Chains A and B, each alone.
Chain A
Amino acid sequence: MADLLSLTLAEARDALKAGETSAVDLVTAHVGAMERARPLNLFITETAEQALAMAEAADARRARGEAGPLNGLPIGVKDLFCTTGVLTTAGSHILDGFVPTYESTVTSKLWADGAVMLGKLNLDEFAMGSSTLTSYYGPTINPWSPRDGGGTGDGFARKLVPGGSSGGSGAAIAAGVGVGALGTDTGGSIRQPASFCGITGIKPTYGRCSRWGIVAFASSLDQAGVFGVTVRDCAILLTSICGLDPKDSTSVDLPVPDFEAALKDGVRGLKIGVPKEYRVDGMPAEIEALWQQGIDWLRAAGAEVAEVSLPHTHHALPAYYIVAPAEASSNLARYDGVRYGLRVDGKSIIEMYENTRGAGFGAEVRRRILIGTYVLSAGYYDAYYRKAQQVRSLIRRDFDRVFEGFDAVLTPTTPSGAFGLDNVPDDPVTMYLNDIFTVTANMAGLPGISVPAGLDHQGLPLGLQVLGRPFDEATLLRVAQAIEDAAAFKLAPPFNMRA
């Protein structure tokens, strides 16, 4: 094989199956790439030794005729999934030294299908952010950042964020480290970094895959998902991670289709809605143009496209910033310096709690815990949390109504391309606006995918988002495939292990 790092997940799978390469050779190439890509700060923990041992085991399984669907494929894991015997940090100081004694369901399913873990990828602290800037381990650099000098050194003319919270996952796949990656999406944390990094990322329907063993942020919104270079790669990984888990009572007992097989069905005859409320004030002309381009592509591929209305769209973001912090404040109450992670001593147990949590949480997490505590405090619950949950019902009704006549909805993924590390809005509300097109799917529990569609005026990637009916990821993937085919997007970031 000429260049193992240039293979997509599907190509690598087929090459392994055909005996053109081995899992050890493929994984060795990706471990080398992981090490050379260190200037991007992709991983919090690299697990090269474990990866090579898993690769040897994968080759042995293949020799015995027991290769699973992902046998020998190197995958990066967002450091929010608990992994047995491997440090799991959630990007937070408060989980210092936490080595789980159990494995998340989603990662277990990947390993059961033969995949190989490369390492634990960087993220915003507790998945709270859109840039990886809130990670205790420092930000990940977007491989599309303009270079100052060639090669894979640490010279950047300007450092750009990869998006977040699954920024390490997005940047790793864009740079060619790993053939696929796991992420989680609470308000856009898969789709926004996929858009910023020029790759594909899908958040399945809430309940489609188990949340067991994922560090909890906002339990009614959190959902695991995957990143790949292509829609096909995402379809393959998604088939592996979905399914009922008795350990997560919100996981749903529905058959999991072969998502890859669905791709061939195309979009002819599908009805695609374009929600007028997503045409927000001040939207850059290039985003508008890309959106129109997507509409034209889908029409040319045989879909019917028409304008639809989702009247409660602009209430999704404020409702999200009640629900997410409220649930976070409750979930993060478990970090108390007693059972795991950091402890900062105090004279009394209360002081020990306060010192530990004061030292262990970063500024964004602290802000959200305080907001969440406030909106749930006595006398405020109805005015904030209950109200927000009612607004969620209205958002879901909007979508249900549209899906009576349409198969999917097309929108931009983000209101802009990647921004600079040095150009971050200093007020939280402006930062939150990054999620404006993505939070609706989480609020309504719907599946969403971002697929790269073009470049902005600075040559940075922009994605289009497709939202669909609950548990109809297959249609989402078909629409995304049509966009991918038409866009012929070239994944060529300046910092690229494939080159």
Chain B
Amino acid sequence: MALDTDSVRRIAHLARLKVPDDQLDHLAGEISQILTFVEQLGAVDTTDVPPMTGMATQKLRRRPDVVTDGQIPDKVLANAPDATGGFYSVPKVVE
């Protein structure tokens, strides 16, 4: 699969990742190369093969649905680039 620069720009936007225009072409080439590499899997017959969704043969454990943590707003906000009055601050979202 060969990706063009418009596709790369679209994916980058989906990933919320700014990519300078002058790098789109190079990235499109690299990503196309990797996609070509992985597409050899198309030749593998996977009819009736279930996808692997977990490693363990055991069933997922259950736990009581109770609060085990909390009341630590200072710790939660300790690494925030910008926090005010017990909240994360971000650029204005609503006009």
Asked if B31 and A357 make an inter-chain contact with CB atoms under 8 angstroms apart, the answer reads: no
Interface flags, B28-56, vs A, CB<8A=1, else 0: 00110111011111101010011111111
Asked if B14 and A373 make an inter-chain contact with CB atoms under 8 angstroms apart, the answer reads: yes
Asked if B91 and A339 make an inter-chain contact with CB atoms under 8 angstroms apart, the answer reads: no
Q: Which of B31, B51, B63 contacts A371 (CB 8 A)?
A: B31
Whole-angstrom distance between the alpha carbons of A333 and B15 in the complex? 8
Give the chain B neighbours of A312 by CB distance below 8 A: 44
Asked if A321 and B37 make an inter-chain contact with CB atoms under 8 angstroms apart, the answer reads: yes
> Does B70 count as interface, using CB distance less than 8 angstroms?
no
With A339-B80, A361-B17 as contacts: A250 and B56 at CB distance below 8 Å: yes
Asked if A357 and B18 make an inter-chain contact with CB atoms under 8 angstroms apart, the answer reads: yes
Whole-angstrom distance between the alpha carbons of A351 and B52 in the complex? 37
> Does A352 count as interface, using CB distance less than 8 angstroms?
yes
Q: Closest chain A residue to B89 by CB distance?
A: A338
Asked if A370 and B15 make an inter-chain contact with CB atoms under 8 angstroms apart, the answer reads: yes
Give the chain B neighbours of A392 by CB distance below 8 A: 51-52
Q: Looking at chain A, what size class is its interface with the partner chain?
A: 35 or more
Binds B, one of A107-115, A173-181, A342-350: A342-350
> Does A427 count as interface, using CB distance less than 8 angstroms?
yes
Interface flags, A365-377, vs B, CB<8A=1, else 0: 0110111011001
Whole-angstrom distance between the alpha carbons of A345 and B8 in the complex? 23
Asked if B19 and A206 make an inter-chain contact with CB atoms under 8 angstroms apart, the answer reads: no
Whole-angstrom distance between the alpha carbons of A388 and B40 in the complex? 11
Task: Give the Cβ gap from A117 to chain B, nearest Cβ, in Å.
Answer: 20
> Does A186 count as interface, using CB distance less than 8 angstroms?
no
Asked if A338 and B11 make an inter-chain contact with CB atoms under 8 angstroms apart, the answer reads: no
Q: Which of B1-38 contact A (CB under 8 A)?
A: 3, 7-8, 11-20, 27, 30-31, 33-35, 37-38
Asked if B17 and A358 make an inter-chain contact with CB atoms under 8 angstroms apart, the answer reads: yes
Give the chain B neighbours of A349 by CB distance below 8 A: 90-93
With A207-B55, A312-B44 as contacts: A249 and B61 at CB distance below 8 Å: yes
Whole-angstrom distance between the alpha carbons of A392 and B8 in the complex? 28
**Residue with the greatest number of chain A CB neighbours at <10 A, chosen from B18, B38, B60, B91:** B38
Asked if A370 and B52 make an inter-chain contact with CB atoms under 8 angstroms apart, the answer reads: no
Q: Closest chain A residue to B14 by CB distance?
A: A373
With A252-B56, A321-B34, A338-B80 as contacts: A394 and B17 at CB distance below 8 Å: no
Task: Give the Cβ gap from A83 to chain B, nearest Cβ, in Å.
Answer: 13
Give the chain A neighbours of B52 by CB distance below 8 A: 389-390, 392-393, 396
With A252-B58, A393-B49 as contacts: A343 and B12 at CB distance below 8 Å: no
Whole-angstrom distance between the alpha carbons of A345 and B89 in the complex? 12
Q: Which of A371-407 contact B (CB under 8 A)?
A: 371, 373-374, 377, 384, 386-394, 396
Give the chain B neighbours of A361 by CB distance below 8 A: 17
Whole-angstrom distance between the alpha carbons of A75 and B30 in the complex? 39
Asked if A354 and B30 make an inter-chain contact with CB atoms under 8 angstroms apart, the answer reads: no
Task: Give the Cβ gap from B89 to chain A, nearest Cβ, in Å.
Answer: 9
Asked if B58 and A427 make an inter-chain contact with CB atoms under 8 angstroms apart, the answer reads: no
Q: Which of A63-116 contact B (CB under 8 A)?
A: 97-102
Asked if A428 and B61 make an inter-chain contact with CB atoms under 8 angstroms apart, the answer reads: no
Q: Which 6 interchain pairs have the tightest Cβ spacing?
A: A358-B18, A389-B51, A445-B55, A340-B79, A343-B81, A390-B46
| B interface list, Cβ under 8 A from A | 3, 7-8, 11-20, 27, 30-31, 33-35, 37-42, 44, 46, 49-56, 58, 60-61, 63, 72, 75, 78-82, 88, 90-93
| Interchain residue pairs with CB less than 8 A apart (26) | A101-B75, A102-B75, A250-B56, A252-B58, A253-B58, A315-B40, A318-B38, A318-B40, A321-B34, A333-B16, A341-B81, A347-B91, A348-B93, A352-B90, A354-B16, A374-B11, A377-B11, A387-B44, A388-B41, A389-B52, A390-B46, A392-B51, A393-B52, A394-B49, A428-B30, A428-B33
Known pairs A246-B61, A322-B41 / 7 extra A-B pairs, C-beta < 8 Å = A99-B79, A253-B58, A318-B41, A374-B7, A392-B51, A393-B50, A393-B51
